[in-house]
Amino acid sequence: MNKKTDKLIADLTISLEQKTKLIKDVHAEMDRGLAGEKSSIKMLPAYIWPPTGNERGEYLAIDFGGTNLRVMLVKLEGQGKIVMPKIRVQTIGPDILSGTGEQLCGFIADAVIDFMQEAGMDMTLEKEFGFTFSFPMDQRSITSAFLISWTKGFCTSGMVGENVVALVQAAFAKRGFPQIRVGAIANDTVGTLAHGLYENSATSLGVIIGTGTNAAYVEKTSAITKFPALQSKTDTMMINMEWGGFDRIGRTVYDEMIDELSSNPGEQFLEKMVAARYLGDLVSLIINDLIESGEFSPAMRPIKEDAFFDAREVSLIAKDESMALTDMEQLLENHGSGGVRFDDRALVKKVAKLILDRSANIAATMMMAVVKKIDFSLERVHAIAIDGSLYEKAYGYKEEVRRAIEELAGEKKNQVKPFVCKDGSGVGVAVVAATVASAK
């Protein structure tokens, strides 16, 4: 490999020393966020506290904020047991991403109404549902949430600064169902944390590594100094960190290009290095740059912007363990590069691996930073509930996260236990709704 590739490897690999420094910087930003000072980690109180695991009941839950809208019926049976008798998944199309707030809220209301009718539910009764809304929001209670900004390519008009709960309820009312109401709204990380805690009280973090990335944990209200009044209400509260905004992390020229191409330039720097939405674009941009520098054979053609790889394809490339790397041939041909040489395929694979591993290493460092903020010396076990397609499905991702956690936790490595919390966010908001209901 030549100098350019060597530099790429150096730029995209994060050393243990860098990770240790990052953890310190994350702690400082978390403190600033809790104090209400300027911080790239927002630290948003979620107005919900940990469930006991004994909450019961049947809840309707809506999960909005990634690639799909999911409506589900969730049964909490107590003692940490959850069943999900019915789920409906609908893709969120580009028309919704860049349409109006009214269209978006109407899309949600229509999906819920259809689901309820299909399930034979009585549409005349009062019905409260749990609402996972996976964006940064400023909450003042469990049923009010003002959208701070869009992320993950959403740019729907008329919603930033507005109370999302009121907008969604207006959509139900407009359709003749004012009695269907939001009983609790929560970020997906908060849902995942609640879900994790319901099943396992050692859960310290709820993490999403999917289209976007973020985490939530439980904080003492005495430490949330920006809202002193919270202390009189409850001892602890979940915090939606919004770690995707963390900006104390070295970026490459490719990261800067991704930022410029995005719908929210200047924001979500960490998310753009970690989350699935951006990984395929990163790999494609790097490959194009290496083509321009002559690192590939002429058979390798620049990838057009409308045909950039997606994260699923990046994972497929990394997964090609065949001797001659022939599994990825068809995929490359689909992107305009048929009949490339073995060396070309090896370099494509190298880039895909570097980007996936960088993502996993940053995510693991962030998780360790939060765990260490809670318990610096890792005195107790910390389970980490993780939801999201990238963590769950990308080739080698979980293993790399585990490796990085072990590197950072050293001899205390068994105190940190990440686990897949499938449908964590959607199911979790049912737990949130139940926790609220049992406190009434």
**Residues making contact with ligand BGC (CB under 6 A):** 65-66, 134-136, 151-152, 187-189, 208, 212-214, 242, 244, 271
Identity of the residue, 420 or 439, whose beta carbon is nearer to ligand BGC in the bound complex = 420
Identity of the residue, 180 or 238, whose beta carbon is nearer to ligand BGC in the bound complex = 238
Identity of the residue, 214 or 221, whose beta carbon is nearer to ligand BGC in the bound complex = 214
Identity of the residue, 29 or 188, whose beta carbon is nearer to ligand BGC in the bound complex = 188
Closest-CB residue for ligand BGC?
A: 212
- Torsion sign, CA atoms 336, 341, 347, 352: positive
Reference 48, options 193, 258, 213, 159; nearest CA is 193
Which residue in the block uniquely carries the two structure tokens 């209670």? Answer: 141
Q: For 169, phi and psi rounded to 5 degrees?
A: -65, -35
Identity of the residue, 44 or 285, whose beta carbon is nearer to ligand BGC in the bound complex = 44
CB of 388 to ligand BGC, least distance (A): 7
Taking the C-alpha atoms of residue 66 and residue 117, their distance in angstroms, rounded to an integer, is 25
Q: On the CB side of 279, how many CA atoms lie within 13 Å of its CA?
A: 32
- Alpha carbon separation from 4 to 90, 133, 253 (Å, rounded): 43, 42, 13
Identity of the residue, 80 or 130, whose beta carbon is nearer to ligand BGC in the bound complex = 130
CB of 185 to ligand BGC, least distance (A): 12
Residue 427: exposure state from Cβ atoms within 10 A (0-12, 13-18, ≥19): buried
CB of 390 to ligand BGC, least distance (A): 10
Reference 431, options 48, 45, 55, 46; nearest CA is 55
CB of 102 to ligand BGC, least distance (A): 22
Identity of the residue, 135 or 172, whose beta carbon is nearer to ligand BGC in the bound complex = 135
CB of 134 to ligand BGC, least distance (A): 4
CB of 272 to ligand BGC, least distance (A): 10
Q: For 77, phi and psi rounded to 5 degrees?
A: -105, 10
Helices (H), 335-420: 342-374, 389-393, 397-409
SS3 31: helix
CB of 346 to ligand BGC, least distance (A): 33
Taking the C-alpha atoms of residue 24 and residue 27, their distance in angstroms, rounded to an integer, is 5
